[in-house]
Amino acid sequence: MATKDATTEETGRNSFVYVVAALAALNGLLFGFDTGVIAGAMLYIQNSFDLTALFGYPMSASFVEGLIVSGAMGGAIVGAAFGGRLADRLGRRRLILVGAVIFFVGSLVMAIAPNVEVLIFGRLINGVGIGFASVVGPLYISELAPPKIRGSLVSLNQLTITSGILIAYLVNYAFSGGGDWRWMLGLGMIPAVVLFVGMLFMPESPRWLYEQGRVDDARDVLSRTRTESRVAAELREIKETVKTESGTVGDLFKPWVRPMLVVGIGLAAFQQVTGINVVMYYAPVILESTGFQDTASILATVGIGVVNVVMTVVAVLLIDRTGRRPLLLTGLVGMTVMLGLLGLAFFLPGLSGIVGWLATIGLMLYVAFFAIGLGPVFWLLISEIYPTQIRGTAMGAATVVNWAANLLVSLTFLGLVDAVGQASTFWLFGACSLAALIFCYKLVPETKGRSLEEIEADLRENTLVGPDDHPDAVGSDD
């Protein structure tokens, strides 16, 4: 009977954790929606604005188009640069509330933009919200989740990112008949309101509360997310690893932290230079170049979005069972192969009649492999591998690199295609994917089933650096 009561108690607390994680993961939905919606909107924005000038100065249309798409990335760099420190100072929950307001304002500005300059400004505002969300969403969830289910809960953030992208593609398709790009961009206000209202009723991270000396508040939050037998034990673990004063940027470069700083920054860069957001931002443009019409290219992009969501669900179900490394390495192998085949599809002569379908299938498989590996595992690992007192700052540093690489790729893609062709561009991404595979095999650790405090303890002892460290390690029974 006692065992049954304990199981019931744990199930109830896990249910609360799932509710909190799902709501916090709306950060990811806003992130994904803004990422995906511009892909379809760009097909129609060019009909409303002159893209050959900016602030009265002549510009190439491809450059202005690149600025519109990548404007959010510029804002995201700013948001990520400050988001980590703000998460450490203001708290995780408060920063999520601030981010929701920024998302709302940015979406409104884009929807009513009278010219291309204001549209780019709206994209920048939304980008700041994206930067905040990409830091604080995984951070908040990882600090509330029990070790046994932390991987799947943090990966909910990636699932909502992919769901947001799919919703954006569906919105694009729904409004494609009339080319109503203002509605496409403005609908981002709705999830921003839901996120803001919902987070008003959610708790703060117990680890952040403990850092602020609010031990009783931390205990109260843990009692809502852990069984009674685990609350005291976890408070002791937090006490051993949390200092009352906040960490500094200089702590990122301490010898025992540096290996994981390299891992986080490396994964951040590789996630982008392997080309994923080229597909997210430019899939309709890529498919249109193969002969698809506007509506058909958007519909094919919806198919890519469906694959993205389905395979992310697979990753969520597997990540706490198989571990982080197996999914990461499998995904990178598949991505490398698919990028090679995509380049071949655009290179071989005589395929013009079927290249659109080959490109669509190749893009779907490429996205599928990304969705089970590099997509969710990057965000999960950077929420796990850094010490508590600088976790927000360290995640911010990795996220800044991620968005800077995103900006670089999105700005240069169209020019790169013009310079070397689509085939060589995809082969370049394939070479980056192969380099990422080698990097991950050599340096990325396994963190499955271990509490954040256990991971930090191993990090301090310099044992969290090899691919085979603690392959079967299991966290506490909470």
Full DSSP string of 6-57: HHHHHHHHHHHHHHHHHHHTHHHHHHHHHHHHHHHHHHHHHHHS-TTEETTE
Closest CA to 282 of 353, 363, 337, 352: 363
Amino acid identity, position 276: I
Q: Which range (15-29, 148-162, 340-354, 384-398) has the least confidence?
A: 340-354
With residue 58 as reference, give the H or E element that holds it: strand 57-58
Q: Which stretch, 26-35, 376-385, 426-435, has highest mean pLDDT?
A: 426-435
Q: Which stretch, 4-18, 162-176, 220-234, 236-250, has highest mean pLDDT?
A: 162-176
Please tell me the distance from the alpha carbon of residue 380 to that of residue 398, in angstroms, as a whole number: 12
In the predicted model, what is the mean pLDDT of residues 399-404? 87
Backbone angles phi, psi at 18, to 5 degrees: -60, -40
Please tell me the distance from the alpha carbon of residue 30 to that of residue 33, in angstroms, as a whole number: 5
Query: Is pLDDT of 125 > 60?
Result: yes
Query: Buried (b) or exposed (e) across 144-176, using 16+ Cβ within 10 A?
Result: bbbbbebbbbbbbbbbbbbbbbbbbbbbbbebb
Residue 408, number of CB atoms within 10 A of its CB: 15
Bridging pattern class, strands 53-54 and 57-58: antiparallel
Mean pLDDT of the residues in the chain: 82
Question: What confidence score (pLDDT) does residue 13 get?
Answer: 62
Question: What confidence score (pLDDT) does residue 477 get?
Answer: 37
Query: Is pLDDT of 146 > 70?
Result: yes
Confidence of residue 386 (pLDDT cuts 50, 70, 90): confident
Question: What confidence score (pLDDT) does residue 463 get?
Answer: 56
In the predicted model, what is the mean pLDDT of residues 221-241? 78
Query: Is pLDDT of 242 > 70?
Result: no
Query: What's the pLDDT tens digit per position in 161-179?
Result: 888 888 988 888 888 777 7
Query: Is pLDDT of 478 > 80?
Result: no
Angle between helices 374-382 and 324-347 (to 10 degrees): 140
Please give the residue that has the higher pLDDT: either 131 or 299: 131
